[in-house]
Each structure stands twice: as structure tokens, then as C-alpha cells.
Amino acid sequence: MTRHLIDIADFSAAEVTAILDLAEVPLADLPRPLTGQGVALIFEKPSARTRHSMEMAVVQLGGHPVFTRGEEVGFDTREPVEDVARIMEGFHALIAARVYDHSTITRLAAVATVPVVNMLSDHSHPLQAFADALTMRQHLGDLAGQTVAYVGDYNNVARSLAEISARLGMHIRLACPLGFEADDAEIDRILLLGAASVEQGNRPIEMVVGAHAVHTDTWVSMGEEEDKEAKRQKFDGFTVDDAMMDAAGPASIFMHCLPAYRGFEVTASVIDGPRSVVFQQGHNRMHAARGALAFLMGVET
């Protein structure tokens, strides 16, 4: 059966670990499972990290990436999503897409005979989560029993981070503004994925105490631009600043999927300071993507 990368939850703890291990295999020791093959990279939204990391991961695995903007493909405007899948699978070994509506990914996967990769939807961002976990593992070692705190709204990045942190047996703290939290069913779901614990609260300075990693994201995701001013008011007090990092503890690392908006979700002193690992995290997008694509192509550690 074709394996897709739609959500982290679709992967067992052992499979998540296998992908992280593959991400760290030196290029010289890695097979080239994409040799002579193409990979479709379709973007309905802007991207710096995801496009570049995926293009380079494909090249490193011996393949040829074909970047296409969403409007050129025209999911459900130029032709049905399913027809795009049926055409692309004739050219490519993998189909990857960044989409507004998560159902575009699940519809591609429902008909494609090659793996479909979610490069971010309104629901989740699994490739980011692999890079997040890789970065935490590089700094903190075995993540089981360690604590990750996420400050901000429970969005696509938060969901995938929670899923991978759960799979790796971490304690998860969610510091979300009122009205932007995970609901009870979601918290139960994350617990069932293997989290050591999941706690949620509206006071970030309390939620981060003792966290080994503090993670945040932009307050305004792509596609939500009209909510910008309202969200900025509601997120007052959720800026990750030096006081919050001090509350987390002296060894805590700061993480952000980027792009970052200094002065909103994080102060310049934190993101540009000594505890920030955001650029390593960003560079890990390429290693994590390579590990994930290698896994989907059947490479074993």
C-alpha cells in the first residue's frame, strides 16, 4: 500500500524515529532512491524554507524537483484535484503540495498511486515537525520525558509539533490565548498518541516553567491576513520575551518555525539571542525532508 505523509499521527513512534535517524545519515552513506525520477512540488501559498529544503532533498536523493505554483495547476478551478493526482503520478515518484484546504491533500492521497506529501495545510505541517523534533533531539538527547512548551494559537504548526512530541513520549504544554486553544477531544487524541502528559493554559509565563524547549509561531498564518489586527490584540501577553525564557529555565532552547515577526510573537532579544536555535531548526528542514522522502521511497536505516 502506498504510504503518504499527510500527518505525523499516521506514523508510529518507531517510524518517526526511523525518519529522524535517516535525516542524520551522512549523504555519502545514503542511497539515491529518486535517481532518474521527478517530484512534483505544488505551492498554493508562499514558501522559502519548504520549497528550498524540499528541492534540495529531492536533488540529494538523486531526483529532479518540478516546482509549480498553485494557480498554474488550479486545484478545482482548472481541473479537479483527483485529475491532478492522476496526471502527476505518471510523471513523478512523489507528489508534494502546500495547500489552503487540508482536504486537497487527503483527496490527492485518496487517488494517487505514488506517495503524497503535505508541505503545509490549514490543518498541519508535518515536515516542519520532523525538523522540530530533530532539532530538539540534537540539543536535548532522548526526548522521552522531556517537556516542550508551545506558546501561541493551536494552529497547523502546533498540531504537528504536538503529534510528534507525543509520539516521542514528551510532556506537552500548550499556552494558548482564550479562543485559540486545542479542544478537549484534541487533547485526548494527543495523549493517545503517546504523550507523557498534555497540559493547556492561558498564562504562558506559568506554562513554560521547566520546559526544555519553548516553541512559537506567527500569530497570523497564511490565509488569515484579514484577522491580523484582531489577533494581535487577543495575543497581547503571549510574546516570548526574556522574562518568559527565564521562567522556562536557563537551559531552555527557543524555537520558531519561521518566518518570524519580531516584536509580536517573539522579541528580537530572544530570537537573536544565545538560546535561539531557529536557524539550525530551519536548516534541519532539508535534512528532515530528505529523511522523510527516503523513508517514503523505502530506504531503511
Backbone phi and psi for residue 179, each to the nearest 5 degrees, phi listed first? 90, -5
Q: Which of 112, 116, 120, 129 binds ligand CP (CB under 6 A)?
A: 120
Active site residue 125: yes
Closest CB to ligand CP: residue number? 50
Answer whether 187's CB lies under 8 Å from 203's CB. Answer: no
243 binds ligand CP (CB under 6 A): no
Answer whether 82's CB lies under 8 Å from 111's CB. Answer: yes
CB of 153 to ligand NVA, least distance (A): 8
Active site residue 257: yes
Count of chain residues binding ligand NVA (CB under 6 A): 9
- Map residues 117-136 to x or -, x wherever contact with ligand NVA holds by CB under 6 A: ---x----------------
Residue 48 partner contact from ligand NVA, ligand CP, none using kind-dependent CB cut-offs of 5 to 8 Å: ligand CP
Q: Which of 15, 258, 261, 264 binds ligand CP (CB under 6 A)?
A: 258
If DSSP states are collapsed to H, E and C, what string results for 255-298? EECCCCCECCCECHHHHCCCCECHHHHHHHHHHHHHHHHHHHCC
- C-alpha cell at position 41: 512540488
Answer whether 71's CB lies under 8 Å from 43's CB. Answer: no
If DSSP states are collapsed to H, E and C, what string results for 167-199? HCCCEEEEECCCCCCCCHHHHHHHHHCCCCEEE
Radius of gyration of the chain (CA): 19
Residue 217 partner contact from ligand CP, ligand NVA, none using kind-dependent CB cut-offs of 5 to 8 Å: ligand NVA
128 binds ligand CP (CB under 6 A): yes
Closest CB to ligand NVA: residue number? 221
DSSP-derived 3-state class of residue 203: coil
Residues that bind ligand CP (CB under 6 A): 47-50, 120, 128, 257-258
Positions touching ligand NVA (CB under 6 A) are: 120, 155-157, 217-218, 221-222, 257
Catalytic residues: 98, 125, 128, 217, 257, 285
